[in-house]
Structure 1
């Protein structure tokens, strides 16, 4: 069975994530114990018990999502030994999980990277007054024009008709007001409940700090193709991996093009590993012809194993 692995981005976190998996599988418990020991605090307790306010902190949810995705993968590989992973990708933070799954770096290296990335981004949020706005409907060209007009950045191209803007609180408020102009074709403008302006120029300080950390991190060529968000293409050398993971902090997440790149290469089965089914929902808007299996907990893992081993 050939499949592409997809990993969740920030916003997918949920209190209780991974708890039933840790109770059911000693390998998952061991991985979470390793995460706790590596970080020097009980990440697993925050994942299992919350509170949500703590889990939602950028410095907490990024390592939590990373550990959760890789824990599911460990069990999946043991239960479906015939699974052939043909490529990986992840939304924003999930790109780091995708790299770990592809062997670009080991679990502990990636965990430290995402913890530092989250901490740098949290610090940048505290030092700037940023916001994000999801726009539903409207052509990409019209939304890019709106972003330019309001001096904000295009953060995410998640699906056809779903684009996110990011930037100063004033610029985003201006964009929300101007989005009501019927000529722009935007159906809804939804302010996002986030701490700051991710994937915008306001994250420049975080980008610079992460670049320094990535420069000394042990990184090797992945065993399978990994598609990067920033350029929506496969990256393979340590140099381009460092560059694209750095650029991604302030650059756009080109998710639609990333998925189209994989589909054009002939991939038809995708497995989403994360606490919700957001990526499956986006894929339904990008290309309904491909199959996405979402695994978020022990029950959906069992269902996925049945689906992947049937026939």
Structure 2
């Protein structure tokens, strides 16, 4: 399903912020799918790790810009010597010196410009990678939410079925006692009962597995989950329209395009080493 993710992103951020402003823990009870998604968006460690990585990549732009800034270096030296003269006695000499040098690049073959553009492309790629991570985590959160609802319903149906079969076994045994049923009928009822017990245990195990995934992705135990509303109005009406949106907006595709741009700028940066350089130097 393709949706306009930026709108969802703003909604989730607003939902989480509203809970914070209310003075309560962020979404203490994720009862709706929107609340569960907002909780995952705010606290999921995978998203937070990618956010930190994106902030680190952002720092490469000012680092690249430093290529056209002046460099200042300073030096100092001191020495000590002495001489022993029979007439003048011992003489001590302590000469020292201090120097400063400034260098300003006037033209570096466009290397700094190319490095800056490469860093900016890397920043854009990192932001799209973050957006892709957010989409994947939110998809996992929605799947975990719906899986818990599904498995809760299945476990409930299995429990009801077992109750019915338990009653059927009791009925068959009572009928056997009065001669209205055979041992075969009782054995068949007990076999169906045993199968229902196994199915209920499997359903409960699957439910616990889904709850564990929910806890891992969303960060809390599921509590009174409500079935979500339909999303038919969010789905493009035609397949080609969905493909067009994906090619134009999918973050994985956009991140790859920015990485291609970064590679192009890196090539130009390497080629700039073949051009002449002009540097203004001064020292004192």
TM norm structure 2 = 0.24
Q: Which has the larger radius of gyration?
A: 2
- The structure carrying a bigger helix percent of its residues is 2
Of structures 1 and 2, the one scoring higher in RCO (CA 8 A, sep 6+) is 2
